[in-house]
């Protein structure tokens, strides 16, 4: 059993682990997930499942994802690219986490959140590298990662020229080449470089109707 999580459970009785996936990509939403436990039995069950999603193979992540959604109380949510552009990635991530908590609708819980600079009305602690220290946060990271990957795979089916299935929206060399060749669609975060730079310098094609006036005004291109 994870002693890190056990200490929090002993102190607070009911705990929620929260993590995100997709803060760095150039396209697509940022996903967040929250997983709830209130017993030693649940933590013991979680101890061999929760892990930093980045350190697991895709096959293993999916296997653990399916186990988690069958055996734990959880919520998965996201903030899309328009929200990210309008309020910034940190606030958009925090907003999605708040939506997780509203969906779970639990009282007198303590939140363990991966990262820093997040804020909630409930009692909480931001844990640097929380997905490595906590099985509970690690479980949330798996739910968020697999959910976002599935979203990007679906997006790839609609827009195969961008190859979202391969890079999930992250700024790989091939992804940048595809952007310069095909332009951008509404799913891109236009406040993120190099997309922002390409737009300002008129290096990529785009449809103005795909983006709100507010997003374009922020870049000074409308």
Longest dimension (CA), the chain: 57
pLDDT at 81 over 90: yes
CATH topology of domain 3-155: Nucleotidyltransferase; domain 5 (3.30.420)
CA dihedral 70, 29, 128, 58 (to 10 degrees): 50
Beta bridge partners of 27: 188
pLDDT at 60 over 90: yes
Least confident segment among 63-67, 90-94, 212-216? 212-216
Whether 81 has a binding-site annotation, put simply, is no
- Spatial separation of the C-alpha atoms in residues 194 and 187, rounded to whole Å: 15
pLDDT value, residue 1 = 46
pTM score, whole prediction: 0.95
**Strands across the sheet containing 110-114:** 73-79, 30-37, 15-21, 110-114, 123-127
Distance of CA 134 to the CA centre of its chain: 17
The H-or-E segment that residue 166 falls in is helix 164-167
The H-or-E segment that residue 176 falls in is helix 173-182
Where do the structural domains in the chain lie, given as residue ranges? Answer: 3-155, 160-219
pLDDT at 87 over 90: yes
Mean pLDDT score, 144-173 = 98
pLDDT at 20 over 80: yes
Mean pLDDT score, 20-32 = 98
Whether 19 has a binding-site annotation, put simply, is yes
Whether 80 has a binding-site annotation, put simply, is no
């Amino acid at each position: 059993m994870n002693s890190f999580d056990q200490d929090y459970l002993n102190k607070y009785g009911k705990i929620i682990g929260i993590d995100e996936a997709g803060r760095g990509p150039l396209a697509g939403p940022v996903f967040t997930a929250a997983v709830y436990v209130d017993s030693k039995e649940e933590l013991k069950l979680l101890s061999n499942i929760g892990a930093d999603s980045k350190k697991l193979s895709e096959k293993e992540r999916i296997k653990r994802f399916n186990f988690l959604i069958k055996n734990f109380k959880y919520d998965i949510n996201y903030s899309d690219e328009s929200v990210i552009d309008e309020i910034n990635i940190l606030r958009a991530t925090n907003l999605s986490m708040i939506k997780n908590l509203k969906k779970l609708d639990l009282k007198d819980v303590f939140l363990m959140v991966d990262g820093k600079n997040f804020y909630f009305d409930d009692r909480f602690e931001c844990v640097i590298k929380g997905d490595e220290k906590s099985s509970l946060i690690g479980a949330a990271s798996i739910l968020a990662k697999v959910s976002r990957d599935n979203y990007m795979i679906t997006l790839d089916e609609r827009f195969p020229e961008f190859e979202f299935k391969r890079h999930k929206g992250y700024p790989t060399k091939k992804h940048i080449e595809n952007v310069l060749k095909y332009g951008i669609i509404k799913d891109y975060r236009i406040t993120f470089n190099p997309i922002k730079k390409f737009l300002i310098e008129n290096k990529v094609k785009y449809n103005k109707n795909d983006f709100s006036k507010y997003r374009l005004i922020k870049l000074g291109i409308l």
